[in-house]
C-alpha cells in the first residue's frame, strides 16, 4: 500500500478573523474522488449550497484536522472504522454511522484500520446551523440509520448533479440535501417510520409488488430497476417492511384472496388463478399455513381449527 502525505495550512488574507486551518495526511488505497461546485444560480438565495463531495478509501495513516471554515459536513462510513473528535468528544464510527458537523469548529478525523471507506458532502447555507443544532444538541451525536445505502445513494445523486452544474440541478441538490438531513433526523427522533415515511424506492417497489402480485416477478429485475444488486435490494427492502420482496408479494396475494373469498362467488380455482397461484391445492396450502384455516372455512366464517 502506497502512503501519500499531503499536509497544508489555509489562512485568511485579511488577517482579521481567526484563520481557517486544515491539515490532511493521506494514506490512500484508492485515489480519492472529489467533486467541487461553484454556485450557479447567482442572486438566488437557496437554503443550501453543496460545495464539494468526496469518496475516500484510506488506510491506518489517514488523518484530517479542520477548523474555521464557513461550511458543514455530512459524513457517512461505508465500511471499516474511523474516529472523529468534535466538541471535545471522540467517537468511533463504523459501517453506516453518520455525522453532521460544523467545519467552523475544530474537528479531527482519523482512520482506525487499514481499509476505511467513507463519503461526504460539504454544505453551506442559512439552514445548516439549524440542522446541526438539531442533530448534535450542543454535543456530538452519531446516527446509525436502518439503511445507510439510502443515504449514500442520495450522496451519489448529489455528486452527479454537481458534476453537471445547471440552475435546475442546483434546485435538485437543495431537495436532495433537505432529504438527506430531514430523513436522518426523522429516524433519530421519530423511531420506526410509517410506510408514508419510507424512501421513495421502497414505496415504489411495494406498489409494484402489490399491483402486480398475481404475476411471477423476477426480484433481480425489480432490483435492477432501482439500480441495486439483488441481495442488497432484498436486505434493504426487508429492513423497512419486515418482509422480503417475495414475502411481501405473497401477503398482497393473500389480501386479494381474502377480499375475493368474502366479496365474490368465484370458485377457489378462479380465486387462486386471479391471485397468481399455480394451482388450487397450492393456494389452499399457503392460505392455511398463513391463516391457520382453509379458504373454504374462512369464507364460511368458521373458527380456526
Question: What is the pLDDT, as a whole number, of residue 12?
Answer: 38
**Residue range(s) of every CATH 2.60.120.280 domain in the chain:** 21-191
- The model's pTM is 0.64
Question: What is the pLDDT, as a whole number, of residue 176?
Answer: 92
Low-confidence spans in the chain with pLDDT less than 70: 1-18, 38-44, 191-197, 304-305
Alpha helices in the chain (DSSP H): 128-136, 148-163, 167-190, 200-211, 219-225, 230-241, 245-263, 268-274, 280-291, 295-300
User: What element of type H or E holds 22?
Assistant: strand 21-25
Which positions ≥6 away from 198 have C-beta within 8 Å?
Answer: 206, 240, 241
Q: What share of the chain is helix, strand, coil (3-state, %, to 5)?
A: 40, 20, 35
DSSP-derived letter for residue 301 is T
Find cell 479531527 and name the residue: 108
**β-strand pairing of 63-67 with 107-111:** antiparallel
Residues 217/209, Cβ–Cβ less than 8 Å? yes
Question: What is the pLDDT, as a whole number, of residue 267?
Answer: 92
Q: Which three cell numbers stand for residue 259?
A: 377480499
Which positions ≥6 away from 59 have C-beta within 8 Å?
Answer: 1, 3, 27, 28, 29, 111, 114, 115, 116
**β-strand pairing of 21-25 with 82-86:** unpaired
Q: How are strands ordered across the β-sheet holding 98-102?
A: 28-36, 49-58, 116-124, 72-79, 98-102
Domain 21-191: give its CATH code: 2.60.120.280
DSSP-derived letter for residue 269 is H
Question: What is the pLDDT, as a whole number, of residue 124?
Answer: 92
Residues 145/98, Cβ–Cβ less than 8 Å? yes
Q: What does the alpha-carbon distance between residue 133 and residue 255 come to, in Å, rounded to a whole number?
A: 45
Residues 102/74, Cβ–Cβ less than 8 Å? no
**Residue range(s) of every CATH 1.10.10.60 domain in the chain:** 193-305
DSSP-derived letter for residue 195 is G
Question: What is the pLDDT, as a whole number, of residue 4?
Answer: 38
Q: What does the alpha-carbon distance between residue 62 and residue 67 come to, in Å, rounded to a whole number?
A: 17
| Measured CA distances, 134 to 74, 91, 189, 256 (Å) | 14, 18, 10, 43
CATH class of 193-305: mainly alpha
Q: What does the alpha-carbon distance between residue 249 and residue 246 come to, in Å, rounded to a whole number?
A: 5
Amino acid at each position: 500500500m502506497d502512503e501519500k502525505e499531503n499536509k497544508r495550512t489555509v489562512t485568511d488574507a485579511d488577517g482579521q478573523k481567526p484563520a481557517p486551518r486544515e491539515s490532511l495526511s493521506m494514506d490512500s488505497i484508492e485515489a480519492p474522488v472529489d467533486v467541487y461546485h461553484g454556485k450557479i444560480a447567482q442572486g438566488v438565495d437557496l437554503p443550501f449550497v453543496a460545495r464539494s463531495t468526496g469518496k475516500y478509501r484510506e488506510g491506518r495513516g489517514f488523518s484530517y484536522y479542520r477548523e474555521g471554515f464557513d461550511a458543514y459536513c455530512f459524513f457517512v462510513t461505508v465500511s471499516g472504522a474511523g474516529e472523529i473528535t468534535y466538541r471535545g468528544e471522540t467517537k468511533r464510527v463504523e459501517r453506516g454511522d453518520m455525522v453532521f458537523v460544523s467545519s467552523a469548529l475544530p474537528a479531527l478525523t482519523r482512520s482506525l484500520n487499514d481499509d476505511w471507506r467513507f463519503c461526504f458532502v460539504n454544505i453551506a447555507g442559512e439552514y445548516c446551523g439549524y440542522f446541526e443544532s438539531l442533530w448534535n444538541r450542543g454535543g456530538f451525536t452519531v446516527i446509525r440509520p436502518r439503511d445507510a445505502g439510502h443515504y449514500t445513494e442520495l450522496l451519489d445523486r448529489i455528486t452527479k448533479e454537481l458534476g453537471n452544474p445547471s440552475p435546475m440541478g442546483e434546485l435538485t441538490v437543495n431537495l436532495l440535501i433537505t432529504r438527506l438531513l430531514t430523513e436522518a433526523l426523522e429516524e433519530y427522533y421519530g423511531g420506526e417510520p410509517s410506510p408514508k415515511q419510507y424512501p421513495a424506492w421502497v414505496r415504489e417497489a411495494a406498489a409494484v409488488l402489490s399491483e402486480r402480485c398475481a404475476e411471477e416477478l423476477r426480484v433481480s429485475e425489480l432490483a435492477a430497476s432501482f439500480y441495486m444488486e439483488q441481495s442488497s435490494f432484498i436486505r434493504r427492502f426487508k429492513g423497512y417492511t419486515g418482509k422480503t420482496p417475495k414475502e411481501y408479494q405473497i401477503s398482497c396475494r393473500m389480501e386479494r384472496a381474502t377480499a375475493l373469498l368474502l366479496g365474490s362467488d368465484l370458485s377457489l380455482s378462479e380465486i387462486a388463478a386471479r391471485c397468481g397461484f399455480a394451482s388450487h391445492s397450492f393456494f389452499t396450502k399457503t392460505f392455511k399455513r398463513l391463516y391457520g384455516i382453509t379458504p373454504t372455512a374462512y369464507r364460511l366464517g368458521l373458527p380456526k381449527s
